[in-house]
Structure 1
Amino acid sequence: MTGSTAKIQYISLWDRFKKERDLAAREQLILKYAPLVKYVAGRLAISLPPNVQQDDLISYGIFGLIDAIEKFEPERNIKFETYAISRIKGAIWDGLRSMDWIPYSIRQKAKELEETYARLENELGRPATDEEMCETLGITKQQFYSLLQETSCTSLLSLEDLFVFDRDGTNGVKMIDTIADSRVPDPVAAVMFEEQKKILGEAINKLPEREKMVIALYYYEGLTLKEIGKVLGVTESRISQLHTKAILRLRGRLSRVKKKIL
């Protein structure tokens, strides 16, 4: 099959589904892009505890793929793979949250770290050092690093989950879900999306350089923590530590911003 023939068939599948609601075409699209789900699930599984099964991630991811196919608009000239990967990741994280696989005690420890970062950095007007965190918490450096390792599982999330606009703490709106549908323009959603991007971007820019780089490589370039370690010439556990600190700082800063907005 030539490249031009494959492209024609690809366009035909989307036309049949979007214009005629042809379910057979929808099924073919799901089969065509199913490897994306396995790819995303495999990449995420590397950073998750062994008790989380990759088959479960794939099951959650399929829902994200179907959602992406339903909502994708070929005429907007956005590459489907890029759009779908965000939806697939989001569906997997939603599934993991529904499993509630992180113990309450670990969540509480992470919350304490998050609040300490937020309070201390607000007072200092800059990123807090490890030494300053230890002094504030009244613990040694070794205890601090052990605490980061213990709570690292709480930092494995979709970047969009860091900042949601909600008024009751339960029904947040992710950035990806605020993208306006061109068929039904929603100026409020569009403004909200741009505001979230701006605030999140500003918060990331205030991170220490090393942590900022980890966030960029993990969330925007799609590298695993192990791969980032090779790029930066440090161990995977060190990258995990930097990633956890970055997420805790971001959560702390964004929680303060949300309180001001809401």
Structure 2
Amino acid sequence: MARPISQAKTKEFDKWVMWKQEGSREAEVDLITQFLPLVDKVASRLAINLPANVDKDDLISYGRFGLLDALSKFDHTRGLQFETYAMWRIRGAMIDGLRENDWIPRTVRDKAKKMEEAYTYLEQQLLRMPTDQEVSSYLGINEKELQQLFFETSLATMVSIDEAVGDEEEQKTARHSYIVDEATPQPEHVAEAAGLKDVLVSVIDKLPEKERIVVSLFYFEEMTLSEIAEIMSLSPSRISQLHSKALFRLRSTLSRWKSQLM
């Protein structure tokens, strides 16, 4: 049995029709006003991981452009959820804006690359997730310095929604192209997505307990890192470190999975 469409959703759809098909400026403004709070929501979540010199107002400014872009490109006739699509576009616009202003020094990017290489190499050699002691030993630093690295490089692990994915020959394909399902997905894409889901579930299950909780609360419950810190009775910086560690582990596993497909 099909679920009944709420009155609010019906009214929202009418606005899309009035704007996209009838050219109503009033409907366009209503939609912008309705979804504008998404920009502040995304900015609040993203700002947790950013240094103090990054102004949240700048994020909001970048995000507004992302919202307008999402509104203009969204296909209301496909019955999809605009909020999910828009939040990815908004976040991508914020990250793109920060990158254009060189918000992450090259030295930090280099450190992030070395960290990712360390996790990938050690996991391949040990056939399990490496411990902090093993990673710090590999990098030639102590564990306290490793924790500081996690904090510094947490910013560099972010990716833009418009960043190209795939091989060099496929660099015209942006990440957001994979978010909205096509009406008739190709079998190989379905199989790859299913495989990726299985890999993610497996690696998340193998994360240390605290990292697994952070990933679950941040990505599935959509809590901010400060909210997670309060729940777990840890400092926001410690939660940021746990989040960064989890991302490095996930990225190294996904890189290895991708290489096995080639």
TM-score by length of 2: 0.81
* Cα distance between partner residues in 2 of 1:106 and 1:80: 35
What is the identity percentage for the equivalent residue pairs of Structure 1 and Structure 2?
Answer: 44
Match of 2:3 in 1: none
Per the TM alignment, residue 105 of structure 1 is displaced from its structure 2 partner at its CA by 1.0
- After superposing the two structures, state which structure 1 stretch, 117-126 or 128-137, moved more: 128-137
* Gap change, CA 1:89 and 1:127, over 3 Å in 2: same
- Equivalent residue of 1:20, what SS? coil
Match of 1:207 in 2: 207
* Cα distance between partner residues in 2 of 1:163 and 1:121: 26
Per the TM alignment, residue 103 of structure 1 is displaced from its structure 2 partner at its CA by 0.8
RMSD: 3.1
Q: Say if 1:164 and 1:172, in contact at 8 Å, map to a contact too.
A: yes
* Gap change, CA 1:193 and 1:14, over 3 Å in 2: farther
* Gap change, CA 1:135 and 1:76, over 3 Å in 2: same
Q: Is 1:122 aligned to residue 121 of structure 2?
A: no
* Gap change, CA 1:163 and 1:116, over 3 Å in 2: farther
Letter in 2 for 1:87: R
1:60 to 59, 62, 81: 62
* Cα distance between partner residues in 1 of 2:206 and 2:174: 24
Per the TM alignment, residue 62 of structure 1 is displaced from its structure 2 partner at its CA by 1.8
* Gap change, CA 1:190 and 1:94, over 3 Å in 2: farther
* Cα distance between partner residues in 2 of 1:116 and 1:188: 35
Match of 1:166 in 2: 167
* Cα distance between partner residues in 2 of 1:65 and 1:201: 31
Structure 2 unmatched ranges of 5 or more = 1-5
TM-score by length of 1: 0.81
Match of 2:230 in 1: 230
- After superposing the two structures, state which structure 1 stretch, 56-65 or 148-157, moved more: 148-157
Structure 1 unmatched ranges of 5 or more = none
* Gap change, CA 1:76 and 1:89, over 3 Å in 2: same
Match of 1:28 in 2: 30
Per the TM alignment, residue 76 of structure 1 is displaced from its structure 2 partner at its CA by 4.5
User: Aligned pairs, how many?
Assistant: 255
Per the TM alignment, residue 71 of structure 1 is displaced from its structure 2 partner at its CA by 3.8
* Cα distance between partner residues in 1 of 2:79 and 2:41: 23
Q: Say if 1:215 and 1:246, in contact at 8 Å, map to a contact too.
A: yes
* Gap change, CA 1:141 and 1:10, over 3 Å in 2: closer
Match of 2:186 in 1: 187
Match of 2:74 in 1: 72
Per the TM alignment, residue 149 of structure 1 is displaced from its structure 2 partner at its CA by 2.4
* Gap change, CA 1:104 and 1:73, over 3 Å in 2: same
